Amino acid sequence: MTACFPHRITIVTGHYGTGKTEFSVNLALALAGEGERVALADLDIVNPYFRSRERRSLLEQAGIRLIATSQACSDADVPALPAELLAVLEDRSVRGVLDVGGDPSGARVLARYRPKIRGEDFQLLYLINANRPEVRTADSAVRYLRGIEAAAGLPCTGLVNNTHLCGETTPQEVREGAALAEAVSRETGIPVICHAAEARFAEQLQELALFPIELRMKKPWE
C-alpha cells in the first residue's frame, strides 16, 4: 500500500482544497499500520480548513505522534512552528509526514528547516485536484507548483492525483484528475507516483496505481 512512499520524510503540498490533510492522515495511518514509527506534523498555518489535529484521538490510538501548531487551543492558528519538528527530522527511526500550507506562503514554513531537510531522505509531493478552479489546467497547476518550490527552496519530487469532491467523488472524476496529473508530469518531468481515491473505487480504477483512502476529515459544520 505504501510502496509509493519509500522515503523517510514525506512533505505534502498543493493548492488549498486539494485534500492535503485527508491524504496526510491516511498516509500516516497506512505507515503505522505497517509497523512504522510515525509522526504527523500539521504545519498548515495558512488558510486552515481541515486540520489533522482534529483527528488527534484517532492518530494517537494508531501510535502516531501528532505535532501541531497552537496545541494549547485546537481552534487557534498562529504562525508558530513546533520545536518538536526538529526532533522528527533528526530521529531517523521515525517516518515523518509533513502537512504543509496550501499556497507559497504556507510553503515558506519549510524554509526554516531547508538545510536539515535537504540532508535527509525526503520526498516533496504536489497534490493535484482537477476540481479546484485555480489549478484545473496543466499550465495553472505548474505555475502553482513552481511557486511552492520557490517559497520552500525545495524541489518537488512526485505528483499525486488527489481529485475529489469529498463524498460526491466518482471514478470518472479520478480519471479526469489522472489525465491532468499526466499533463503536468509531461510539462515538468516530475513523475506521477499514485492516484489517491476511496478504497470503494479500487475495482473500478484497476488501471491506475491507486493509493486507497478512507474519508477521515469532516467539514467544519458536520
pLDDT of residue 167: 76
Tens-place pLDDT, residues 118-146: 999 999 999 999 999 899 999 999 999 99
Partner residues linked to 39 by β-bridges: 65, 96
The Cα–Cα gap between 85 and 61 comes to 20
| Cα distances (Å, whole numbers) of residue 11 to 81, 169, 179, 186 | 15, 25, 23, 22
pTM score: 0.90
Top mean-pLDDT range of 3-12, 60-69, 158-167: 3-12
Partner residues linked to 126 by β-bridges: 13, 159
pLDDT for residue 181 is more than 90: yes
Q: What is the mean predicted confidence (pLDDT) over 162-166?
A: 89
Q: What is the mean predicted confidence (pLDDT) over 82-99?
A: 89
pLDDT above 90 coverage of the chain, percent:
64
pLDDT confidence bin for 85, thresholds 50/70/90 = confident
Partner residues linked to 165 by β-bridges: 167
pLDDT for residue 73 is more than 60: no
Of 24, 41, 36, the residue nearest 85 (C-alpha): 41
The Cα–Cα gap between 97 and 40 comes to 5
pLDDT for residue 219 is more than 60: no
Cβ atoms 50, 21 nearer than 8 A: yes
pLDDT above 70 coverage of the chain, percent:
86
pLDDT of residue 170: 92
More confident residue, 37 or 43: 37
The Cα–Cα gap between 107 and 109 comes to 5
pLDDT of residue 106: 73
More confident residue, 73 or 65: 65
Cβ-based neighbours of 190, under 8 Å, separated by 6 or more? 126, 145, 156, 157, 158, 159, 184
